[in-house]
Amino acid sequence: MKRTRVIFISIIAVALLIVVVSLLLNRGSTPSDVGFTLERPEEVTIRVLTALPVEPWVRSAAERYNAAGKTVDGAQVTVDIVALDGLTALGRWDRNDYGALPADVRPDELSEAEQAELADFPTAWIPDSRYLVELANASYKERLGRDVFLTDGEYRARPIAISLFTWGVYESRGEVLEEHFGSVDWSTIHDAAIAKGGWPELGGDPSWGYFKLVVPNPSKNVGGLAAMIAMAGEYYDRTDISVEDITNPEFQAWLTETMGAVTDISGGSAYTAEDFALFGYSVGDGGQLLESDLLQNMQGIVTRWEDPLR
């Protein structure tokens, strides 16, 4: 594998969705000065929506925490991990599937049935990228008139890990591309994608057929969106990409030609790196993926296929 540019994208951005109700009741206060409180629970569940690339690591950490039997003011604290890809989670926020309360409604005003509907409401979200938090927050701000995900302070949305965006190309194919074009970048990939003669035109084995690009489905995996942003950055040779740049007809035509080389397996999947390990050349000859996804599946790629990635 080799990196074509230093592109860092946030793999995890933590945002506090709701403030956990304080377990420390105001002891010694009189009825006149008691604020909003709830009955002290015997158990508190912290439900965390977690991006798929980091789910094994987060779940392992949660299991260790739960095994320690942590308590807060006598209440048992349990962390519940819900694995969910970022774009699916964003759709649920947009539709308000989780049932965020209107700004003028407080939990103590709900009926028991309404409170039960909030039992699965997430406490925190670890999405694939910070921009997902910003989009979800914009949707809620329009609906409620206020931020739901905090924008500053201790619990503001912020990255806690990063992953490089990197090329993963089978060595046999990479050697041909480098010999023909000099390097592997998005310009090379575009020209390989539109080569009418396929691999023979590029100097490769005729049995390889046409060049097949590996890119995750952008509607299911943020890696697909990141790939398109990387394409735009290289097309315009700059890092500040605007909506106008993306919708530019000339870029759209170039993008369509490039993405025309994506296979049904690669383009229809949210688990492209895993598919790479399972199906090899059927998925594609190479592409740009999150390094974290590739590393998680590298052992399967190395042991299952004789042709290594570079």
**Interval 65-87: pLDDT, tens:** 999 988 888 889 899 999 988 88
Same domain, 229 and 275: yes
Same domain, 213 and 100: no
Q: Which of 223, 265, 270, 215 is nearest to 84 (CA)?
A: 270
Is residue 5, in this structure, part of any structural domain at all?
Answer: no
pLDDT of 35 over the 60 cut: no
Top-confidence residue, 219 or 124: 124
Same domain, 194 and 298: yes
DSSP 101: P
Same domain, 158 and 178: no
Is residue 253, in this structure, part of any structural domain at all?
Answer: yes
Total domains, the chain: 2
Average pLDDT, the chain: 78
Q: Residue 109: its pLDDT value, please?
A: 79
User: What's the whole-number mean pLDDT along residues 225-233?
Assistant: 87
Is residue 244, in this structure, part of any structural domain at all?
Answer: yes
Same domain, 70 and 112: yes
Instruction: Name the token pair of 16.
Output: 């506090």
Is residue 30, in this structure, part of any structural domain at all?
Answer: no
Same domain, 141 and 175: no
Looking at 135, 162, 189, which one is the last position of a domain? 162
Q: Residue 198: its pLDDT value, please?
A: 95
Same domain, 148 and 43: yes
Top-confidence residue, 148 or 89: 89
Same domain, 144 and 219: no
pLDDT of 269 over the 70 cut: no
Is residue 75, in this structure, part of any structural domain at all?
Answer: yes
Query: Domain span at residue 294?
Result: 170-304
Range in 60-69, 148-157, 194-203, 249-258 the model is least confident about: 148-157
Computed on alpha carbons and rounded to an integer, the radius of gyration of the chain in Å comes to: 24
Classify 199 in phi/psi space as left (phi over 0), alpha (psi -120 to 50) or beta: alpha
Q: How far does Cα 23 stand from its chain's mean position?
A: 33
Is residue 1, in this structure, part of any structural domain at all?
Answer: no
Looking at 127, 162, 197, which one is the last position of a domain? 162
Same domain, 94 and 117: yes
Same domain, 181 and 58: no
Same domain, 194 and 276: yes
Spatial distance between the Cα atoms of 65 and 31, rounded to a whole number of angstroms:
37
Looking at 140, 162, 184, which one is the last position of a domain? 162
